[in-house]
């Protein structure tokens, strides 16, 4: 019998949640996703540390921000030379509440990829799923720039993203699990996991109403969460969990079924700005985790600033 990772790939597109090139070669994902946190971790390894020096040497006199953009694109280009699919490159989280600046930064990143001969269809611009970020993604998608809306915890975010026509969303399973476990003191597993349930609800809603937006489960804490979402459009998985799946002979079966979802009795909803903000305010978990996630990404963006400055 194939190991669990190969079985999972029969139902779901597997994405590598890492900036480590060697991991991608080892597990052969179709896509890869990066963020400042992952780039900071990669640059701590000797084999990647020289990339900062190379970027500085190739672009003398550039500001720190411009140099970081080129470093992110350099990582993206290296990743695209390994995988057959797409790479997600993140807009600085400090722009999460600025629609115009997010649009401008996304255009700059795509222009840098084009300069390297990369087809923009192979790049997803990763943006925090704030109201401002969703509006930026809506404009970018109309320009042909594909977007991955991240830090997604609430149903209002998911619906607003789909109505904006974004290419892909990344609901964070593990962080929902963490928040709920801390609040209740209970353990959760499989279909009872609140993070798993959140992705199931979004997936079923999208398929029921024919949205083209892809659902990519993210931020997993264990392989049980991953296998409970077999059948999701995509799952982005960290290297240690990829290794656990590759070492397991557990049988993997389809858990999310797009055809079955089309028959479900689900009410359609819409969110304008006022409804979105109220819905997020009512969802304590989503509000807490979105704010915390932006703070964490900003902290790592500042670490990247310091690495480049040094």
What's the CA gap between 295 and 94, in Å, rounded? 9
Burial (CB count within 10 angstroms: exposed 0-12, middle 13-18, buried 19+), residue 222: middle
Give the C-alpha separation, 168 to 191, whole Å.
23
The whole-angstrom separation of Cα 195 and Cα 189 is 10
Q: Is 81 helix (H, G, I), strand (E, B) or coil?
A: coil
Q: Are 77 and 118 in contact (CB under 8 A)?
A: yes
Instruction: Indicate if 207 belongs to the active site.
Output: no
Return the bridge partners of 33, or none.
Answer: 17, 88
- Directed axis angle between helix 46-58 and helix 36-43, to 10°? 110
**Which is the catalytic residue, given 9, 41, 45, 126?**
126
Distance CA(230)–CA(1), nearest Å, equals 17
Look at residues 226, 151, 155 and name the one whose alpha carbon lies nearest to residue 196. 226
Known catalytic residues are: 126
């Amino acid at each position: 019998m194939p190991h669990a990772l190969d079985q999972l790939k029969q139902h779901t597109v597997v994405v590598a949640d890492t900036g480590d090139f060697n991991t991608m070669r080892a597990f052969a994902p179709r896509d890869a996703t990066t963020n400042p946190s992952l780039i900071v971790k990669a640059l701590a390894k000797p084999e990647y540390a020289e990339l900062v020096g190379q970027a500085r040497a190739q672009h003398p006199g550039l500001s720190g921000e411009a140099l970081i953009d080129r470093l992110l694109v350099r990582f993206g280009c290296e990743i695209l030379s390994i995988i057959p699919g797409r790479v997600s490159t993140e807009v600085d989280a400090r722009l999460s509440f600025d629609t115009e600046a997010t649009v401008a930064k996304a255009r700059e990143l795509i222009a840098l990829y084009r300069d390297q001969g990369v087809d923009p269809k192979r790049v997803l611009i990763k943006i925090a799923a704030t109201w401002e970020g969703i509006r930026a993604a809506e404009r970018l998608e109309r320009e042909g720039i594909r977007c991955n809306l991240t830090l997604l915890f609430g149903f209002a975010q998911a619906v607003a993203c789909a109505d904006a026509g974004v290419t892909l969303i990344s609901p964070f399973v593990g962080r929902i699990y963490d928040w709920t476990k801390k609040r209740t003191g209970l353990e959760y597993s499989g279909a009872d996991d609140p993070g798993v349930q959140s992705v199931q609800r979004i997936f079923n809603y999208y398929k029921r109403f024919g949205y083209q937006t892809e659902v990519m489960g993210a931020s997993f804490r264990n392989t049980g969460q991953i296998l409970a979402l077999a059948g999701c459009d995509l799952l982005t998985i960290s290297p240690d969990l990829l290794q656990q799946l590759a070492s397991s002979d557990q049988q993997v079966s389809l858990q999310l079924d797009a055809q079955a979802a089309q028959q479900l009795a689900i009410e359609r909803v819409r969110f304008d700005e006022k409804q979105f903000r109220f819905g997020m305010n009512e969802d304590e978990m989503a509000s807490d985790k979105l704010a915390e996630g932006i703070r964490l990404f900003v902290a790592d963006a500042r670490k990247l600033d310091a690495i480049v400055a040094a």
